[in-house]
A and B are shown apart, each in its own frame.
Chain A
């Protein structure tokens, strides 16, 4: 198998030593079938053991290895050397504080995840000793939104989140929508207040960057659009005589 040597610039930052982030360059002899994550692992094993980054599964499902590669938020395990130019720049995901090198602080989104109540809420009990009946048509309504691996690439791409990090953001809103439209859930009204306020769906400017960068082909933009319609309906229903307000 042929080799391809990449010149890789990696953003480095150790808050204990550095006043600000800086780039370090590495020459990496890559196999042609490598993902860029393999190149990072080569740097870690052979060139510089101090480099910090997150990764685990190397098969596009754990969501750990989201980073900026040549300016795009991607999973580095599914970004291939064969598709990259010779000069590659790797930076931590945009729109997040840097914890160390390529590792970003995820506290904000992790807190928001909880706010969305991403679990089945029931007013009555589920069937005893058997599953809910759920036709495929009902499953396919929400299935794509279950594919999210929380890699946070969509937060890096989101112009609204960049402007104002109080915006709940694409992945969390899509997840709330996933439960709202699951035929087994009865908790939509409980999620309404959290999601329809000023940090929720109304702040999305519908640029669609989130859906474009999603490595799992989830379409958060579509979820947000649907929620806007649902939210507007709920708003006007409240205004009708007899509606709760």
Chain B
């Protein structure tokens, strides 16, 4: 096995990983950064974001208001010092991106335009039409090309962390084109490997989002935090789960049920607002958790529309007109026309809630530091406590930048202080173990299970027991099912024995990661016996601040289900209150 030495290893080259790499290279060109990604950077799932990135811009807006929206949107599970820092840095990072060439949409006067977004009291979402993610990702990737100290390892699949004496010391990865293994040694590792939407059957998330970063940390003994909080985006296309941005509603699109009725007014988000004049923080601009839950109730009441792809409600954008749709929502028009045959200019588009984002992730503090010295985590793979129990749309793209920059600075300082790590027998043996485990997977035969089969059962079980609404019995059944699937995983045979771009093996390794993530989602759903934000229990209605104003921490147990511990939420200035989306008073 070849050894590679670097000062900082970054796993994942999406928005967060690239932002971190640039930050290190700009400030410390003498430090070597190894940037490992299982796909070419421009394939990373940041590309799929549509609506935009939040940062206070208007003179009528304030950091205080962005803070309050985020904390109440997160149902007070946010760590408030993290939110304070985030809102203070948001616009600075978005301006930085502008200086690097991001093609933000513009106002008439040539300044960057902002649009309304769900749960936000002011217009503060910077956007590039409805392709904000791809522009942010390509801007970062292209900008990174000027820094020779960033050494990319494209299409290298990271397997597991190297650690010694409780400190992270590197990572082992497999080069896809050769099947060769590499041990990366570095004092600091930044995990930026994205979310885990693929743990569910119906998701906006690309095939790459298999929770690799979360699972690697979890297997190394680092806890995953708040994993029961999984966001359903209210407007995905039925069938494919393709995202139609919240920007559709930000620009004035409305949601109606089969009777043409704007049903959101029945779920605490009314009164109805005039069509074509969206009012911030109410009705269609309520938060994602509330909108997705409203769909669930409408479905129960028989008010949804039957489509060839299952039950849906309708997103009506016709009143926006062709010109505005083409200018602000061109991708939405193309996607809806191509995949469900509905042109939003001419007819309402069927939509339904779809798994979109993990609020939970590797437990970190504000600096991206995990409980394991030397291991940092940023972006969706991390849980710093920013998003709480429900993320507001457009906060996550900004978080990639803010957390990427902040933890890069910390990792740099840590790497300098610690110095390059020496190759040593303990780490070599650990790396060999990781590799022989993978080779073992390749050689197994005769178990009778398939990757696709086990994966399908896992996904269906997660949807059944850890979906929009949960209860004790369902969550328990999912915990049991995932435990069973962990065992059956051992019976999966890899048919492809090639060393060259072996996606059969890769999908098995991704399934291992998904199963590790799945057990934490299920266990958290079971043990959080209250309803808060995106976690709703039919048998424990309402928020229980006395017992559960706490983060859950899932620790891996070698045999058996994860152990859950509870950690207090950091409150600096906003005591838990009522989430009010009635459009009335200023919350």
Contact = CB atoms under 8 A, between A and B. Distances in A.
Do A and B pair up? The answer is yes
A88 interface: no
Interface stretch (B37-45, B66-74, B318-326): B37-45
A55 B207 contact: yes
Interface stretch (A114-122, A157-165, A196-204, A232-240): A114-122
A110 B451 CA distance: 32
A162 B98 CA distance: 37
Interface residues of A, number: 64
B500 A133 contact: no
B312 to A, nearest CB: 14
A120 B496 CA distance: 44
B135 A146 contact: yes
Nearest to A51: B503
A130 B339 CA distance: 40
Contact of A57 (B48, B106, B109, B507): B48
Contact of B501 (A55, A99, A126): A99
Contacts of A64: 39-40, 43
A67 interface: no
A30 interface: no
Nearest to B91: A129
Question: Which of A49, A61, A103: most chain B CB closer than 10 A?
Answer: A61
Interface stretch (B222-230, B237-245, B392-400, B520-528): B237-245
B111 interface: yes
A179 B452 CA distance: 44
A94 B434 CA distance: 37
B339 A119 contact: no
A44 B133 CA distance: 29
A106 interface: yes
A53 B507 CA distance: 12
A52 interface: yes
Contact of A1 (B40, B308, B499): B308
Contacts of B135: 146
Given A46-B452, A63-B42, A150-B42, A131 B95 contact: yes
Nearest to A101: B501
Contact of A143 (B45, B103, B146, B451): B103
Nearest to B100: A120
Contacts of A228: none
B134 A135 contact: no
B101 A133 contact: no
Interface string B95-107: 1001111011110
Contacts of B45: 56-57, 62
A57 B451 CA distance: 20
B334 A60 contact: yes
B443 to A, nearest CB: 16
Nearest to A53: B503
B206 A131 contact: no
A99 B108 CA distance: 49
A80 B338 contact: yes
Mostly, the A contact residues are loop
A207 interface: no
Nearest to B147: A119
A182 interface: yes
Interface string B74-113: 0000000000000000001001001111011110111110
Given A134-B110, A146-B135, A62 B42 contact: yes
Question: Which of B43, B92, B206: most chain A CB closer than 10 A?
Answer: B43
Nearest to B494: A49
B496 A62 contact: no
B177 interface: yes
Interface stretch (B137-145, B293-301, B377-385, B468-476): B137-145
B337 to A, nearest CB: 11
B208 A56 contact: yes
A71 interface: no
B504 interface: yes
Interface stretch (A11-19, A21-29, A219-227): A11-19
A164 B177 CA distance: 25
B438 interface: no
Given A15-B500, A149-B42, A33 B103 contact: no
B154 A110 contact: yes
A100 B498 contact: yes
Given A1-B308, A59-B242, A110 B40 contact: yes
A131 B111 CA distance: 7
Contact of B504 (A15, A49, A129, A130): A49
A52 B111 contact: no
Interface string A135-175: 11011001100111110000000000000000000000001
Nearest to B152: A110
Contacts of A89: none
Given A1-B308, A118-B142, A135 B110 contact: yes
Given A131-B99, A133-B111, 8 more contacts: A53-B503, A100-B500, A100-B501, A113-B145, A119-B100, A131-B111, A135-B110, A139-B105
- Give the top 9 A-B pairs by smallest Cβ distance, nearest first: A56-B206, A100-B501, A45-B452, A50-B496, A133-B110, A118-B142, A57-B206, A131-B98, A126-B99
20 contacts: A15-B500, A44-B503, A49-B452, A49-B495, A51-B503, A52-B502, A53-B503, A59-B48, A61-B331, A62-B45, A62-B206, A63-B42, A80-B338, A99-B500, A100-B498, A100-B501, A119-B100, A131-B98, A133-B111, A149-B47
Interface of B: 39-40, 42-45, 47-48, 92, 95, 98-101, 103-106, 108-112, 131, 133-135, 138, 142-143, 145-146, 154, 177, 206-208, 239-240, 242-243, 308, 331, 334-335, 338-341, 450-452, 494-496, 498-504, 507
